[in-house]
């Protein structure tokens, strides 16, 4: 059944890609302008440009199979052709992302594979292969990291491992129960050793001890950083906390760029994952929401501006939206961002859809908690202000201004 469901999701993904592309004139126009051929001979005639849109979309509609009139099997290997199709899908997705206001590029711009269309060669006009901000740098590194991990751990082995994985805990249910019990936003306490903006937050970092202290202090759920390069986290921390008897549902705080990561997180003990709207186009969000539902994960979808909030409110099936008060490109924090994104029609849509809003970043005092709660937040995700405390349990008391453990 899992295999059939997975095949159906994959089919839906390519269908969504084709529909999104064909129904978006702006994207089509930008894509055509970005592709050009150098001088080449076409049927014996000299030519300097050539449109590939009709052939390209024919490839998409036909399940990415090459048209026999274009690709000569004797001159183009199957491997080269598959790489070409992968590049083509990536280019389409990048163009769609740009039309949705996404400025974060998923990987460095590269030239398309050789032998792209039989005897013709063309190049994509590149920007400089340097990340424009810290988030883009993280995402590019994550793309390389995940590519390498996928070579070692196949998706089939992960699906097999799911059969013996811990049953998922009710992440949203825990947040709602905490809100009803305490009258304060449910706390997602973050197990985090370091961050790119603040460096090492806790030298004597023991993830299991920190997690137990959070649970003792009244945390409803825990967020566990698994990125190694920038946050000094790892999936072993997630597994260790899950196996240590901690009852709080666990969010895998990772930079998700590939659906493979969802399966991997689930096998490591995650009950929820983070999907970042600044990184993932709508197509990927929809696709990953389906996978999350299929394998028992809750998705916390993170936004940080009006455009991202509007995009996510137009997608069905989202139950949990996090508002990050940190600008993901500059890392500047402003908690008034939460209030701004929950005012007017947006706030009304959130109430109609019964979406739980999670306040993120810049929350250090009881006054900060009261401010975002008044704006409409029913959960908060906090790391720095409590993990830095000698006793994280006491840090939670200071954050809320009272004991919320009972």
For the question of residue 88 being annotated catalytic, the response is no
Q: How far apart are CA 140 and CA 104, in angstroms?
A: 10
The CA-atom distances, in angstroms, between 79 and each of 86, 123, 124, 148 are 11, 19, 20, 18
Q: Which of 324, 325, 337, 385 is catalytic?
A: 324
Q: What sign results for the dihedral spanned by CA atoms 151, 17, 309, 331?
A: positive
Q: Which of 192, 193, 212, 268 is catalytic?
A: 192
Is the distance from CB of 53 to CB of 128 less than 8 angstroms?
no
Q: Which of 136, 190, 254, 308 is catalytic?
A: 190
For the question of residue 24 being annotated catalytic, the response is no
Q: Which of 20, 178, 237, 361 is catalytic?
A: 361
Q: Which of 302, 308, 325, 339 is catalytic?
A: 302
Count of CB atoms within 10 A of residue 171's CB?
28
Copy the structure tokens of residue 125: 């006009």
Q: How far apart are CA 379 and CA 172, in angstroms?
A: 10
Question: How many residues appear in the chain?
Answer: 406
Copy the structure tokens of residue 259: 């659906």
For the question of residue 384 being annotated catalytic, the response is no
Side-chain-facing half-sphere of 314: CA atoms under 13 Å? 11
Give ∠ CA 29-30-31 in degrees, rounded to 5.
90
For the question of residue 388 being annotated catalytic, the response is no
Is the distance from CB of 329 to CB of 135 less than 8 angstroms?
yes
Phi then psi dihedrals of residue 291, to 5 deg: -65, -45
Q: What sign results for the dihedral spanned by CA atoms 152, 157, 161, 162?
A: positive
For the question of residue 307 being annotated catalytic, the response is no
For the question of residue 361 being annotated catalytic, the response is yes
3-state SS class at 130: coil
Bridge partners for 45 per DSSP: 42
The CA-atom distances, in angstroms, between 116 and each of 26, 42, 79, 127 are 24, 15, 12, 20
Listed in sequence order, the residues at least 6 apart from 343 whose beta carbon sits closer than 8 Å to its beta carbon are none
Q: Which of 193, 253, 339, 378 is catalytic?
A: 253
For the question of residue 302 being annotated catalytic, the response is yes
Is the distance from CB of 269 to CB of 166 less than 8 angstroms?
yes
Catalogue the active-site residues. 190, 192, 253, 302, 324, 360-361
């Amino acid at each position: 059944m899992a295999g059939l469901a997975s095949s159906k999701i994959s089919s839906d993904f390519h269908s969504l890609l084709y529909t999104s592309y064909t129904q978006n004139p702006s994207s089509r126009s930008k894509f055509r302008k970005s592709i050009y051929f150098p001088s080449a001979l076409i049927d014996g005639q000299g030519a300097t440009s050539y449109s590939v849109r009709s052939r390209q979309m024919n490839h998409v509609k036909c399940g990415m199979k090459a048209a026999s009139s274009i690709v000569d099997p004797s001159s183009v290997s199957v491997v080269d052709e598959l790489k070409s199709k992968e590049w083509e899908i990536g280019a389409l997705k990048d163009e769609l992302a740009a039309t949705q206001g996404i400025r974060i590029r998923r990987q460095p711009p590269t030239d398309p594979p050789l032998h792209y269309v039989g005897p013709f060669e063309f190049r994509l006009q590149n920007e400089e292969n340097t990340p424009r901000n810290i988030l883009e740098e993280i995402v590019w590194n994550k793309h390389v990291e995940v590519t390498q991990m996928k070579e070692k751990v196949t998706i089939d082995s992960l699906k097999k491992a799911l059969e013996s994985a811990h049953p998922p805990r009710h992440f949203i249910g825990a947040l709602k129960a905490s809100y009803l019990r305490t009258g304060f936003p449910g706390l997602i306490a973050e197990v985090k050793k370091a961050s790119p903006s603040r460096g090492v937050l806790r030298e004597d970092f023991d993830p299991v001890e920190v997690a137990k202290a959070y649970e003792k202090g009244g945390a409803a759920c825990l967020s566990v950083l698994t990125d190694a390069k920038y946050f000094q986290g790892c999936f072993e921390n997630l597994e260790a906390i899950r196996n240590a008897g901690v009852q709080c549902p666990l969010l895998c705080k990772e930079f998700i760029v590939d659906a493979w990561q969802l399966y991997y997180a689930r096998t490591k003990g995650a009950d929820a994952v983070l999907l970042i709207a600044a990184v993932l186009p709508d197509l990927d969000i929809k696709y990953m929401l389906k996978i999350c539902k299929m394998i028992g994960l809750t998705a916390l979808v993170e936004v940080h501006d009006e455009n991202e909030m509007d995009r996510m409110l137009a997608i069905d099936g989202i139950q949990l939206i996090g508002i990050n008060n940190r600008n993901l490109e500059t890392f500047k924090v402003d908690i008034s961002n939460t209030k701004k994104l929950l005012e007017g029609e947006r706030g009304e849509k959130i109430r109609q859809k019964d979406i739980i809003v999670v306040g993120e970043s810049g929350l250090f005092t009881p006054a900060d908690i009261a401010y975002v709660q008044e704006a409409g937040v029913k959960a908060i995700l906090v790391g720095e202000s409590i993990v830095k405390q000698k006793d994280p349990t006491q840090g939670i008391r200071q954050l809320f201004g009272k004991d919320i453990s009972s």
